[in-house]
């Protein structure tokens, strides 16, 4: 029996050809593939601007800086997410303010969000956890009413919709990530999308050491440069502190090739999720993810995460995950609560009990193998192994 991994990218000959072509072209960074990749993603989420970056985390970091967020500022976010959605707040020295989640959608609870807003709140980072867009429209409305910029962390939600609007179209700006377990991959990579051209230009400059890449400054460098020996005009004029968060042409070519197949990826993923749901729906010990989305909502399946019933705790859950792995079935505890991570506990004094809904759910989740080409036999094997592990827990309880 061979291993069934937790996730696996879908790489075809077309992807390999696209990458090979770049290698032969001699142009390996800052070129036409990046521009095309940006266009495709912007078009998909109905935004005017897209800025390709080296990771989703880099995109979130740049947005925090571009919004002028720093020490003394508060940024509201969810404790139930991949840690990058909160780390970006710490990167600029601001204070993360966590708000507990809705137990069905697993996203920020809009009802609790409003109460957490203070005069120090400078942004909201809302995540579409596991590709579920639920509440993003309500969160956008709250942010707008309070005139607080909303950053949509859509890193898990490429291709999803919320009230018939695409993920990536909410708030002031949105971010996607292209790590190999995401809906599409560039190996490592990310994309900022926005309708705010000022914000986009600031991010473009900061991904490239702080030099203006487009817009009026780049088009017409100052007649007399203030940079000594700046014979190249704006190319070496660094207006602000920047980073190297560029996305290579190699990665961008893979991104273009993958974007062209996004719809077929989404279909395959939906079929896999439906297979799991069919097989697991009558199991008393399990709660399945979001099977009843609202009107105009469409989940983009990122992972398939089941939840054990409240009679289980973290110890049993961890034992089940170990059991699955021992039988060569990939499994993981998506997500451990961010506020309970050692670094967050030490720095901010968070403790168990601070966000009870996120904690209770986080203790009982199991991510099962999930990827485009997971076939029915493998799904059957995963479900069978999970059943054995659950029966084992029942016996241990007696």
Tokens (6 digits) for 334: 């998506």
Q: At closest approach, how far in Å is the CB of 57 from ligand PLP?
A: 3
Q: Which is nearer to ligand PLP, 302 or 312 (CB)?
A: 302
DSSP character for 315? H
Cβ(227)–Cβ(237) below 8 Å: yes
Q: At closest approach, how far in Å is the CB of 336 from ligand PLP?
A: 13
Q: Which residue has the tokens 């709250």?
A: 142
Cβ(290)–Cβ(129) below 8 Å: no
Give the binding range for ligand PLP (CB under 6 A) out of 53-61, 96-104, 132-140, 265-273.
53-61
Cβ(49)–Cβ(42) below 8 Å: yes
Q: Does 308 bind ligand PLP (CB under 6 A)?
A: no
Q: Which residue has the tokens 């507990």?
A: 100
CA distance 246 to 175: 15
CA distance 39 to 96: 32
H or E segment to which residue 277 belongs: helix 262-280
Length of the chain: 398
Window 115 to 134, contacts with ligand PLP (CB under 6 A): 127
Using the rule CB under 6 A, which residue among 156, 285, 297, 359 binds ligand PLP? 156
Q: Which residue has the tokens 């203030």?
A: 226
Taking residue 13's Cβ as centre, other Cβ atoms within 10 Å add up to 8
SS3 label, residue 267: helix
Q: Does 179 bind ligand PLP (CB under 6 A)?
A: yes
Give the binding range for ligand PLP (CB under 6 A) out of 91-99, 152-160, 287-295, 354-362.
152-160
Give the binding range for ligand PLP (CB under 6 A) out of 52-60, 97-105, 244-252, 264-272.
52-60
Q: Does 81 bind ligand PLP (CB under 6 A)?
A: yes
Using the rule CB under 6 A, which residue among 9, 166, 168, 177 binds ligand PLP? 177
- What residues have CB less than 8 Å from 338, skipping those under 6 apart? 78, 79, 80, 81, 83, 85, 86, 96, 98, 344
Q: Does 152 bind ligand PLP (CB under 6 A)?
A: no
Q: At closest approach, how far in Å is the CB of 297 from ligand PLP?
A: 18
Backbone angles phi, psi at 89, to 5 degrees: -70, -40
Q: Does 183 bind ligand PLP (CB under 6 A)?
A: no
Cβ(351)–Cβ(342) below 8 Å: no
Using the rule CB under 6 A, which residue among 56, 149, 166, 255 binds ligand PLP? 56
Taking residues 1 to 40 in sequence order and writing x for each that binds ligand PLP by CB under 6 A, - otherwise, the string is ----------------------------------------
Tokens (6 digits) for 374: 């997971």
State the Cα angle at 313 between 328 and 272, rounded to 5°.
Answer: 45
Using the rule CB under 6 A, which residue among 18, 22, 66, 84 binds ligand PLP? 84
Q: At closest approach, how far in Å is the CB of 245 from ligand PLP?
A: 10
Q: Which residues pair with 49 in a beta bridge?
A: 194
Q: At closest approach, how far in Å is the CB of 391 from ligand PLP?
A: 32
Using the rule CB under 6 A, which residue among 15, 74, 140, 153 binds ligand PLP? 153
Contact residues toward ligand PLP (CB under 6 A) are 55-57, 81-82, 84-85, 127, 153, 155-156, 177, 179, 190
């Amino acid at each position: 029996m061979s291993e069934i991994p937790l996730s696996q990218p879908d790489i075809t000959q077309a992807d390999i050809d696209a990458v090979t072509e770049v290698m032969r072209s001699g142009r390996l960074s800052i070129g036409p593939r990046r521009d095309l990749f940006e266009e495709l993603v912007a078009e998909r989420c109905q935004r005017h601007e897209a800025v390709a970056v080296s990771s989703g985390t880099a995109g979130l970091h740049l947005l925090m800086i571009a919004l002028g967020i720093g020490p003394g500022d508060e940024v509201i976010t969810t404790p139930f997410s991949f840690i990058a959605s909160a780390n970006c707040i710490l990167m600029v020295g601001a204070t993360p303010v966590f708000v507990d989640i809705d137990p069905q959608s697993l996203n920020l609870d809009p009802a609790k969000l409003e109460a957490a807003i203070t005069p120090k709140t400078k942004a909201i980072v809302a995540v579409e956890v596991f590709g579920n867009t639920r509440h993003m429209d309500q969160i956008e409305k709250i942010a707008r009413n309070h005139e607080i910029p909303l950053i949509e962390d859509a890193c898990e939600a490429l291709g999803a919709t919320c009230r018939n609007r695409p993920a990536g179209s909410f708030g002031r700006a949105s971010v996607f990530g292209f790590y190999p377990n995401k809906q599409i991959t560039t190996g490592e990579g990310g994309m900022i999308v926005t309708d705010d051209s000022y914000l986009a230009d600031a991010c473009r400059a900061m991904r490239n050491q702080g030099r203006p890449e487009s817009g009026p400054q780049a088009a017409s460098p100052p007649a007399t440069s203030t940079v000594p020996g700046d014979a190249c005009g704006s190319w070496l004029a660094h207006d602000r502190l920047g980073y190297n968060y560029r996305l290579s042409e190699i990665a961008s070519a893979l991104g273009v090739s993958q974007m062209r197949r996004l719809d077929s990826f989404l279909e395959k993923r939906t079929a896999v999720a439906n297979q799991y749901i069919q097989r697991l729906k009558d199991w008393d010990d399990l709660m399945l993810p979001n099977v009843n989305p609202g009107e105009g909502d469409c989940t983009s399946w990122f992972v398939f995460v089941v939840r054990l019933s409240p009679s289980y705790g973290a110890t049993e859950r961890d034992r089940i995950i170990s059991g699955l792995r021992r039988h060569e079935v990939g499994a993981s505890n998506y997500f451990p609560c961010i506020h309970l991570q050692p670094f967050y506990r030490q720095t901010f004094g968070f403790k168990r009990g601070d966000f009870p809904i996120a904690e209770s759910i986080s203790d009982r989740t199991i991510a099962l193998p999930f990827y485009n080409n997971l076939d029915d036999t493998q799904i059957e094997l995963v479900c069978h192994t999970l059943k054995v592990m659950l029966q084992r827990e029942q016996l241990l309880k007696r």
